[in-house]
Amino acid sequence: MVFEDNMKTTAIIEKGKDGTVGIYTPNINHTIVGEGNTIVEAKADFENSLQEIILSYTELDQEVPNELRDIEFEYRFGPQPRCTNRHFSPYAKSPASPKPGTIKDLTVSSSSMSGAAIYSN
């Protein structure tokens, strides 16, 4: 749940069957994801993804949504395992694929090859 006064929300940490770690945000309109071989790597990728999302808004001269401004995360472990492959699914909110039109934009950093996707519910 997002708390409007301090913009704090939960980030779920899950370990896949292949041993990789994924982190995602289930309770905000934008899905932020990160992946790594360890929790530390996944958290760094997750935080980088947030910065890439914010950067994509600023580069397009668009206002950064309020829910992404000064956001803080409470990291919690989710059910294990949920991810089944090396590429952590950005659709971690449900086992089904997203409905057409759900994806607004996709930004991929060529330097890190980590994906920062902008999804809106």
* 108 lies in some domain: yes
Residue 98 sits in which domain range? 8-119
* 106 lies in some domain: yes
* 1 lies in some domain: no
* 96 lies in some domain: yes
For the chain, give percent helix, strand, coil, nearest 5: 20, 30, 50
* 30 lies in some domain: yes
Q: What are phi and psi of 62, to 5 degrees?
A: -110, 150
Is the pTM higher than 0.75? The answer reads no
Predicted pLDDT of residue 80 = 52
pLDDT at 25 over 50: yes
Mean pLDDT of the chain: 74
Predicted pLDDT of residue 101 = 46
pLDDT at 75 over 60: yes
pLDDT at 48 over 60: yes
Number of independent structural domains in the chain = 1
